Structure 1
Amino acid sequence: MSLLSRKPQRRTALAYYATPTSDLENCACAPRRAPVKGEMDVIGVEGINKTVGPLYWYSSMNNLNDPPNWNIRPNARADGGDGSKWNYALLVPMLGLAAFRWIWSRESQKEIEKAREAYHQRTAAFQQNLEAKYHAVISEQRRAVAQLSLELEKEQNRTTSFREALISQGRKLAEERKLLEQERAQIMQEKSQLQPLRSVYLNCLEEGDDWQRRAQLMLKEVGETLVERQNIYCSLVLPRSTRLELEKSLLVRSSVDPVAADLEMAAGLSDIFKHDKHCGDVWNTNKRQNGKLMWMYLKYWELLVELKKFKKVEKVILEK
């Protein structure tokens, strides 16, 4: 539908401002006009120069119900009038908005630059801190690696020394084992060679033990006779003839008994009868407290019996 077919409507000043300029210029009811000298350039919010044209009024757009002074006339000055107070009504808000936009943009840019600079500073400080920590960690790890390498080298050297010591000890033990095996073989060979002598030694030892038992029995009897003889010698009431008979019997036995003859007891008995004059005190009732030399001879004869036994065994083995 074209603009000519529309019904004319009553428009106020605000409705006229809301109508696009292109529609007003293309409208058939609006007269064509040349550019007016009163046009002015205003910087919009977006920073683009926009041309605000003069106010065109059509007679049907005035509110005829209102008084004439209240109507907004488009160009009253061209007719020689005083003009309208609404001609520059939007200039101050638009200039204020543009100034606010410019100031706000500038302050925002300053804040952005300040925030960017603070961000760069924080980033640089954080990066420096990270680099310092990284270098510190790397240095610490390098020191730890160096220390561990030194300890590892020490452990390797100690392990090598232990291994060498074990090898040398093993060789030494092998040599000692070889020597022990040789000695064992030699001992076994000697044992096999001495096996016949073992039976001879055992037989001689049995014979020596038998001779030792007979000699000890004889020494026991001789000792009891000597104790009785010394008791008679120390007694004040027992007859002297009894002592002489005991001495005579001991001398005869020492010359007749082969064991006594081996021990050469005759010379010892003669020495006892001649020199042993020791007696206990007057009130002594223990016979074994009398005499000194006879006890020495009895101990000597016991040791001589032990020696004679091994001498006999040695003699038999050497003869074999």
Structure 2
Amino acid sequence: MNNLNDPPRWNIQPDPRGRREGANDGNQWNYALLVPMLGLAAFRWIWTRESQKEIQKVKVQYDKDVSIIKSEMEARYRGSLTESRKAAATLELELEKERQRVKGYKQALISQTQHLIEERKQLQQEREALEEKKQRLVKSGAVGAVLHHALEQEQDWYQRATATLKELEGQLVERQNAYCSLIQPRDQRLEMEKNLLLKVVKDPIGAELDLESDLRDIFKRDKHCADLLNMDKRKNGSLMWVYLKYWQLQVTVKKYEKAEKAILEGKTQT
């Protein structure tokens, strides 16, 4: 067996016998092996240096690409931030406009409410004054009898006027429902308003009570609508109901005025 600690002469060793003619030259073989080893070392040094250059080149290109991407990302971020700020400013402006609009609506609603309260107070005062006048006339004996007879003579006009107002009330309810409807055409509502105006102009009672100007005021100012789930048409409108009560009081006052005029002109006798 081969001794691993003392292998055979794989490497060429110097000849202990010295150099003599015909003997093997070990040093020449050592020099022969040294040349490829030096070449291999030089190749490895050159290859390592070139590799380092390539690695350094890749690193420089990588840093350059990262810097470009970073710059682009920062530019996009600044652009997005600018657009977001512009959008936020636009929304804030729109919000402020809506706030001012709501504020204007509130002020208009408060003003309209105050106006309606004043009109209601005035109508109540007129009604109380009329009731007092009626009581005084009733208590006056013969004058009361004359007044009662005169009022009976005006009852036919009163009933016709009341019927006219009742019919007008139904038409106003339909008109306001058309105004509050999301599906009913606007032209249809305008046609309804036109017909109402023509009717009160042609009707002597409408002309006597000056209903045309009141209707135009209703069409212009009454914008009240109930909630979207409302199914009762009579819950729509606000100013129109005040006018209807006012017209009914006007009819009552006109009835007494006509009776008083008939008494003063001697057209009514006890």
When Rg is computed on C-alpha atoms for both structures, the one with the higher figure is: 1
Bigger helix share? 2
Q: Which bracket does the TM-score occupy, shorter chain normalised?
A: 0.3 to 0.5
Higher RCO (C-alpha under 8 Å, 6+ residues apart): 2
TM-score of the two chains, using structure 2 as the length reference: 0.47
